[in-house]
Amino acid sequence: MGWIISAIIASAIAIVIYYIIYLTLVKGFVVPIHIFHSFKGLYERYGRNKRLKERMYEYEAVSGMHKPSLFGSSVVVSILTVIIVILLFKIVFFAVVTSDSMSPTFERGDLILMQRIHIDPRVGDIIMLENRESILPITHRVVAVTKEGVRTKGDARAFADPWLVSKHEIRGEAVQIHGSPIILKAIGNYFILNPKEMGIGRYGSEYMFIKNLFLVIRMYGYALCIISISGYLLLTVMERRR
């Protein structure tokens, strides 16, 4: 039924077009020609106005007529500040998985996205913790929450971990979408440190250099942020007053 309606509509449009052509070429009917020229004139005027606006904008940009907006500058500064704080202070970060205890959810060498904005471990959540029995951080799933602490377990293990995790030992909670963590497969193999094998990944030395550099920047992060933001806003205000 649908194709019949489509065929009828297409036929009607074709008949109208042919009839207009017949009136124009055979009968000398000039209305379609006037309509065509009207649309052509409108299109040409639109093109001229558009080119004129573009040239005016270029002139204003070159001559300095466009002054930076204080509101726009504040928005840019706010966005940059949020990004800097997130990166420097590890509010959101990727953690390297150092064992296969959570296989098949994720495996050794994967990167898993963690956050420290709101840590409220519940059963089924994945947390990164520090424990005295392990040199490297452990990333396991929460299987029980009690007043004494949090009980964790690796997905690949038959039994829960023998320790209880207190809140001050939790370093991050995995960001999950519909119960699945955000993972970058195998990328961590380039940076992972393995104290048992006394070796490092392909780019382990570069990773350690960057890590130490970020630690230094983090120490002075607050001062750098305040100085940069204050300078940017000061320059914007001075530019607006010119």
Place of tokens 């020609």: 33
- Residue 144 · residue 160 · CB < 8 Å: yes
86 with 157: CB under 8 angstroms?
no
Residue-level pLDDT at 139: 92
* Confidence band for 187, pLDDT divided at 50, 70 and 90: confident
Predicted local distance difference test score (pLDDT) of residue 159? 92
113 vs 43, higher pLDDT: 113
> 2.10.109.10, 3.40.50.2020, 1.10.10.10, 1.10.1060.10: which CATH number matches 92-187?
2.10.109.10
Answer whether residue 72 shows pLDDT above 60: yes
Percent of the chain with pLDDT over 70: 57
Tell whether the model's pLDDT for residue 21 goes beyond 60: yes
Residue 44 has a pLDDT of 77
What is residue 195's three-state secondary structure? Answer: coil
Phi (first) and psi of residue 221, to 5 degrees: -60, -45
* pTM over cut 0.75: no
pLDDT, average across residues 150-175: 91
Rounded CA-CA distance 34/22 in Å is: 16
Please name which of 137, 135, 139, 140 lies closest in space to residue 195, comparing C-alpha atoms: 135
Give the up-direction half-sphere exposure of residue 50: CA atoms within 13 A in the CB hemisphere. Answer: 6
For residue range 219-235, list pLDDT tens digits in order: 666 676 677 777 777 77
Q: Is the pLDDT score of 68 beyond 60? A: no
Please list the alpha-helical segments (H only) found in 134-220: 204-219
By CB atoms closer than 10 A (0-12, 13-18, 19+), residue 27 is exposed
pLDDT value at residue 143: 94
> In the chain, what are the domain boundaries?
2-62, 92-187
- Looking at the chain, the whole-number percentage of residues with pLDDT higher than 90 is 19
